[in-house]
Chain A
Amino acid sequence: MDAILIQILNGLDKGGAYALIALGLTLTFGTLGVVNFAHGALFMMGAFCAVLFNKILTISKKVKDESITFFDAYKETPYLEIWWGDTGTAIIDYSVPLSIFFAIPVMLLVGVIMERGLIKHFYKREHADQILVTFGLAIVIQEIIRHFFGANPIPTPAPEIVSGSAAVGAFFGLNENLVYPWWRLIYLAFSLSIIAAVFAFLKFTTFGMVVRAGMADRETVELLGINVQKRFTVVFGIATVVAGLAGVMYAPILPPDYHMGMDFLVLSFVVVVVGGMGSLGGAVLAGFMLGLLQSFASMNEVKAILPGIDQIIIYLVAVVILLVRPRGLMGREGVFED
C-alpha cells in the first residue's frame, strides 16, 4: 500500500510536467495548426531562466572574510547580501519560485518573437516543413544554451524550507515513516493550478471564448471581423509561458542541462497524440495517465513480470492508441488528418 501511494504521487508529479508541456503543444496545434518540435526547447529555456535568475541574484563581490584572523581571506559575497543582509540571503534562497516572475516576461517575449519571426511564415507550408524548421530551431536553441551554460547539468536547489520531505504516510494514515519531497508536492500543486488557470482563461474570458471559437471554425470568426490571428499569436505566447513555467519549477527536481528539452519533447508528443490532437482536456488527461502508468510500470513487482516495461510503456500505449483509436482519447474529427 505504501509503495502504491508513493507511485501514485510519483506518477502525478511526472504527469504534471507532461501535462503542462503537452498543454502548450496542443494549444499550438489547435490554434495555429503548427507542429512545434521546438516546444521541448522552450521547456528547457524555462529551466534555464531559473538558472540565469539565480546567477543574476548571486552576482558577487570579493569581501574580506572577517572570521579568519590569521591572514587576509576573501570570500565571494553576493551584492544582495551586502545591501540587504538577511533579506538578501532569503531572496537568493527563494530564487527558483521568484524566477517565475522573471520567466513569464522572458518566455512571453521569446514566444511572440518566435511566432512573428518564424512560425508565421509556416502556416501554409506542409506539416513536414513545420516539423523540420522547428526541429532545426530546437537544435539552435539547444546549442546556444550549451554555449553559454556548458554541457553539464546545473544543480538549482529549491528553497531551504521545502528541501525536506513531507510526512505523507502519517497524513494518509499509513506508515509513519513514509515521506515524500515537499518540492515535488509543490510541483504537483503548481501544475494543477497552471492548468486550471489556462482552462479558466479559455473558458471564462471573452478573449478565451474568441480563441475557442477560432479553434472550432476560424473562417467564420474571421468573417465576423475579428482579428483571429492576433489572438492566436497571444495564445502561442501563452503556450510558451506554460512550457517555460513547467521548466522553471522542474529545475530543482532535475538539474537542467541543454538537452533536457529533447528528452521531454518526444514524450510530450506522445502525450499529445494519446490525448488526441487539438484536445486540451485530452492532453491533460493523457499527461497524468501516462505519468501514472510509467511510475507503476517502474515498480519492481511489475518489472519482474515484464522486464523493461518501464522503458517502453509510454510508447507502447501510444502505438496501441494510435492504431486502435487514431484520434486519441478525446481527439476531434478532422484535426491533422490530411
Chain B
Amino acid sequence: MIKKILSSNPLIMLIFSAVVLSAPIWLTPLGANYPDLLQKFAIFGIFAIGYNILFGLTGYLSFGHATFLGIGSYTAVWSFKLLTMNILPAIILAMIVSGVFALVIGYLSLRRSGIYFSILTLAFAQMAYSLAYSVFTPITNGETGLQLSQQDPRVLDAMAGIAVTDGIPSTNLFGTLIKSMDGYFGFYVAAVMLIIAFYISLKIFRSPFGMKLRAIKSNQTRMKYTGFNTRPYLLTAFVISGMYAGLAGGLLASIDPLAGAERMQWTASGEVVLMTILGGVGTLIGPMLGATIIKYFENIFSALNDSELHNIFDFLPAGMQEFMVTVVSPFVGEGWHLTLGLVFMIVVIFLPGGIMQGLNNLFGFIKRLFGLGGSSSSAADTVSKGEAS
C-alpha cells in the first residue's frame, strides 16, 4: 500500500518539483548555487532525460544526439534574429526544427540496428558538424558562431512596437528578462521546462508505448515475430529524444544567445552518453542525476589548481601535503577529463546500472543489515529513492 502511494505519479512529480525548484537552497552548502551552473544542471538534465528515452528504453546507442542540440541552438538564435526576443517561440521552433531533423535522420538510421545504427548516427552527426563549419556558413556563421546584432529585423517585436534603442537586446519571456533576478529567472524557466520534460518522460515510461520500447530492447526479433512493426515506435522514440535535445539547445541559446558548431561535435554527443550511463540507463531519475553530477564536478574540479590543492590538504603534515598535491593535481584542473574517463570506465565495468544501481544495492544492503526483509527493487522504488538521496 505504502509502496503504491510512493510510486504514484502525482507524488513523484511533487517531490521532483520540490527538489528541483528548491535547488538554489539545498545546493548552497555544496557550493553550487550559481545561476549559471543551476541553468546547466537543468538544461543538461533535459538533454539526458530525452536521450534516455531512446537509449534507456530501446537500447539504441546514438552517437549523434548533439546534432539536435546544435540545431536547436541555431534555430533559437535565428528566431531571436528574425522574429522576437521572446524565448517561447524560439524554444517551440527549436523543438519543431530539431524534431524534423530527427525524423529524417532517424528514419534512415533506424533501418539498421546495433553498431551499424551507432555508426550511422555518428556519420550524420559528423556531416552536420562539417557542413555547419563550411557550406552552411551563411546560416551558421561558421567558426565565429551565430550572434545577434542590433540590425536584426525581429518582425514580431517591431510589430509590437518594441524598438531597440541601444546595444543588443536581451532575451526575455513576455517582457521579463531572462537575466533578471541575477540570472535566477533563467534557471526557473529552465527548471519549469525540466519538470514538464520529466513529467512527459514519466508518462512515457509508464505507458504501453514505453512498455513496447522496452520490449524492443529485450527482444526485438520476438516482437517482430508476433507481428509487431517495431520501426514506427523506434522512430517516435528517436524523434521525441531529438526534440528534447532541441529543447535543451533552445534553452542554451535563450540563456546565452550564441550558437556555435562545436556544440555538435561528436564528443559532445559522447558527453550525454556519459551522463546517462553514469546516472543509470533506463531509470527515470538516473540521467538527470548523471547530468547534475558531471556538470557539478566539472565545475568544481576544473577550477582547482595547485595552490588551492595546497589549501585543501593544509591539515596534513608538510611532506604528506606535498605528496597529496602531486598525486591529485593530474586529476583536477585541465586533467578533469582524466577523472571523468576513469570514473566512467569504473562505472561501466563494475556498475553497469550506474549510480541508481549503486544506490539500489546500498539500500538493499541496509535493509538486509537491519533484517527488514523484502528485497524488492522495482523501478518505482528506484525513483523515490533517487529523489530522497
Q: Which residues of A are in contact with B by a Cβ distance under 8 Å? A: 35, 118, 121, 125-129, 131-133, 135-140, 142-144, 146-147, 262, 266, 269-270, 273, 277, 307-308, 311-312, 315-316, 318-319, 322-323, 326, 336-338
Contacts and interface: CB of A to CB of B under 8 A. Distances in A.
Interface residues of B, number: 40
A133 B345 contact: yes
B331 to A, nearest CB: 9
18 contacts: A125-B352, A128-B61, A129-B348, A132-B348, A133-B345, A133-B349, A139-B344, A142-B341, A143-B335, A147-B338, A273-B116, A307-B134, A312-B126, A312-B127, A322-B120, A323-B108, A323-B112, A336-B116
B267 interface: yes
Main secondary structure on chain A at its contact with chain B?
helix
User: Shortest 4 CB-CB distances between A and B: which pairs?
Assistant: A139-B341, A308-B135, A311-B130, A143-B338
Contact of B345 (A140, A269, A322): A140
A96 B282 CA distance: 48
Nearest to A140: B341
A337 B114 contact: yes
B61 A319 contact: no
B131 interface: yes
Given A136-B344, A319-B108, A326 B116 contact: yes
Contacts of A322: 112, 116, 119-120, 123
Given A266-B126, A273-B116, A319-B108, 7 more contacts: A125-B352, A140-B342, A308-B130, A308-B134, A311-B127, A315-B123, A326-B112
Contact of B123 (A128, A147, A270): A270
Given A132-B273, A319-B120, A147 B335 contact: yes
B133 interface: yes
A315 B127 contact: yes
Contacts of B342: 136, 140
Interface in B249-291: 266-267, 270, 273, 277
Interface of B: 59, 61, 108, 111-116, 118-120, 122-124, 126-127, 130-131, 133-135, 266-267, 270, 273, 277, 330, 334-335, 337-338, 340-342, 344-345, 348-349, 352
B122 A139 contact: no
Given A266-B126, A323-B111, A273 B349 contact: no
A315 B126 CA distance: 7
Contacts, number: 110
A28 B341 CA distance: 22
Contacts of A137: 341, 345
Nearest to A337: B114
A137 B348 CA distance: 11
A315 B348 contact: no
A138 B340 CA distance: 12
Contacts of B130: 308, 311-312, 315
Given A129-B348, A311-B130, A318 B341 contact: no
B234 to A, nearest CB: 15
A311 B270 CA distance: 21
A130 to B, nearest CB: 9
Nearest to A147: B330
Contacts of B344: 132, 135-136, 139
Nearest to A35: B115
A121 B349 contact: yes
Contacts of B108: 319, 323
A336 B115 contact: yes
Contacts of B127: 311-312, 315-316, 319
Given A147-B330, A308-B131, A129 B341 contact: no
Nearest to A139: B341
A311 B133 contact: yes
A127 B113 CA distance: 11
A324 B119 CA distance: 15
A139 B271 CA distance: 11
Contacts of A146: 334-335
Contact of B277 (A132, A138, A269): A132
B326 to A, nearest CB: 12
Given A136-B344, A311-B131, A326-B112, A318 B273 contact: no
A312 B28 CA distance: 47
B215 to A, nearest CB: 16
Contact of B61 (A131, A143, A144, A311): A131
A137 B344 CA distance: 9
Contacts of B348: 129, 132-133, 136
B287 to A, nearest CB: 14
A128 B63 CA distance: 11
B337 A312 contact: no
**Centre residue among A125, A307, A319 by max chain B CB count within 10 A:** A319
A322 B114 CA distance: 12
A240 B277 CA distance: 27
B270 A135 contact: yes
A324 B133 CA distance: 28
Contacts of B61: 128, 131
Nearest to A272: B119
A273 B341 contact: no
Given A147-B330, A262-B267, A319-B124, A336 B345 contact: no
Given A136-B341, A140-B338, A131 B126 contact: no
